[in-house]
Amino acid sequence: MKKIAFLVVLGLLVSLFATSGLVFAQEEAKFGGTLNIGITTDPDSLNPFISNDRIGSWILNNIYPTLLVMNQDSVKVPYVAEEIITSENGKKVTVKLKEGLTWQDGTPFTSADVKFTGELLYEKKLQWQADVFNEVESVETPDATTVVYNLKRSYPGFMGTFGFWQRIVPKHIFEDIENVREFANKEPIGMGPFKLVDFKRGQYYTLARVDEWFDSPAGKPYLEKIIFRIYPDVNTMVLALKRGEIDLTAKDIPFTAAQELKSNPNFTVKQTPSLGFVYIGFNYKNEFLKDDAVRQAIATAIDRKKIIMFALRGDGKLINTGISPVYGDVVNPEAKLPQYNPEQAAEILSNSGYEDTDGNGILNAPSGKDVVLELIYDGNDIYLKKTAQILVTNFQDVGLKLELVPLEKSTYSDLLFNQKKFDINLGGWGIIDEASDSMYTLYHSTASLNFMSLNSEKLDTYMEDARFASNQKIMQENLDEFQLEFIEEMPVVTLYVQQYNFAYSNDFAGFEIYPSDLKGLVDPQSLSQVYKK
């Protein structure tokens, strides 16, 4: 009997070791390979403080960490933070960091880096997130893995904004930079699953995996490299996917291309909703657009349903205020944009003194000038291009002339965010979350992202009272009033919320889809576990 028992145990051990060996071999087989990713333009900057576009986010988010990330259910959760603790009165926020993390040059990641990032951001006003530090009384770092933010008052959206949006930078690198705003950061030292090893503007950006990463299943990414390859437009990018030049589209692809690839066994198509929206924004410094009647007339003249049907092939939904219908629990159902009605739009203009006095088919303002407006937008975005063409017709139908100015994305961003030189912009926000905070950072008269030069005392009051509300009821009451006044003011016309399609080669596996095109399939949580089959 003892001999039989011994043989049984021995057999089990042999089986166990054989199984373990097989699992180990299968895991080892996943390591290696290069994933080529298609994009349609260069990032606006490699500086984590300055970059403010999608391409920059796709690349930099894989190099630099944030305290929080968004999971697949659109919920913000700790990332390099281990725990976030908010005091009962809401005025103290304590961040506990993960232990044992290091920057890519081997320097330990500590609370000093987090504190320094926020202080530099605020001191130099480097990004819109800097606004949240107006509410910070002091910052303490009692030990290497603890950061304490003492707030002036309860501010529910503080960590959701700073922790999610601001990439943390290494203090030992950035404290020696004389002009951070002009810093090109061509050799970034970050702390993400990948590091930048080579790039050539207009062609590619090559990232190599790091030796250790806490969020990868095997302790480090499977892929040896990821290469972001630039194509002149989305159609060329899709052709590159079909030819095998790239393996994944970071940029969303058109409806027709998605349908075609769905039927091809060599590819997988994933869809995710936008958490933002596409809109046209008005520059209040323009002599025509500062007139309430002109903005209301334009809103009434736009056929948003036609835009969704023809520009997006139905892959979108209407939005009425600055808050996406995705966040239905905070949307005020009584706040609605005017229905498409060109006759009514023309009447609004006529009643305000706009008539074609010289017979050239373009309305003249009361000043006598033709109402001619320029629309700037990213000329590489196929959806915006089609949307812009429909807008030209909508404007023309009510006697307004809209001249299209397609631009390279970097030029568009500079004119909009830095120079604020435009009449109307056509663009989109990737993620508009934390409604009480997002509305403030976009539309408050003091907000850095308020490039329209909007200055409304009513809207400011509603935004302030919502942002710093002591409870959810007060917050929602102010958000409801804000949305109603927003429609009356009409600083922007929200056009649609898009559904995004992304495709990848079935030579690879492990992808996870995250909400919005800002995350999609290239979020570090996804790429850090992708492997070649």
Q: pLDDT tens for the chain, 533 residues: list them.
A: 555 655 555 566 555 554 545 555 667 889 999 999 999 999 999 999 999 889 999 999 999 999 999 999 888 999 999 999 999 898 999 999 999 999 999 999 999 999 999 999 999 999 888 989 999 999 999 999 999 999 999 998 899 999 999 999 999 999 999 999 999 999 999 999 999 999 999 999 999 999 999 999 889 999 999 999 999 999 999 999 999 999 999 999 999 999 999 999 999 999 998 889 999 999 999 999 999 999 999 999 999 999 999 999 998 999 998 888 878 889 999 999 999 999 999 999 999 999 999 999 999 999 999 999 999 999 989 899 999 999 999 999 999 999 999 999 889 999 999 999 999 999 999 888 888 899 999 999 999 899 999 999 999 999 999 999 888 899 999 999 999 999 999 999 999 999 999 999 999 999 999 988 999 999 999 999 999 99
Using CA atoms, how far apart are residues 330 and 450, in angstroms rounded to an integer? 22
pTM of the shown model = 0.81
Residue range 44-90, pLDDT digits in tens: 999 999 998 899 999 999 999 999 999 998 889 999 999 999 998 98
**Which two structure tokens, joined as six digits, stand for 326?**
């995705």
Domain spans of the chain, in order of start: 34-43+192-266+506-532, 64-172, 277-498
Residue 50 phi, psi (nearest 5)? -105, -35
Fold of 277-498: Dipeptide-binding Protein; domain 3 (3.10.105)
Task: Give the CATH architecture of domain 34-43+192-266+506-532.
Answer: 3-Layer(aba) Sandwich (3.40)
Could you report the per-residue pLDDT of 209-264, keeping only the tens digit for each? Answer: 999 999 998 899 999 999 999 999 999 999 999 999 999 999 999 999 999 999 99
Q: Are 364 and 412 in contact (CB under 8 A)?
A: no
pLDDT score for 25: 60
> What φ, ψ does residue 481 adopt, rounded to 5°?
-70, -40
CATH architecture classification, 64-172 = Alpha-Beta Complex (3.90)
Token pair recorded at residue 472:
């959810």
Burial of 90 (C-beta count, 10 Å sphere; 0-12/13-18/19+): middle
Task: Return the half-sphere exposure (C-beta side, CA atoms, 13 A cut-off) of residue 64.
Answer: 27
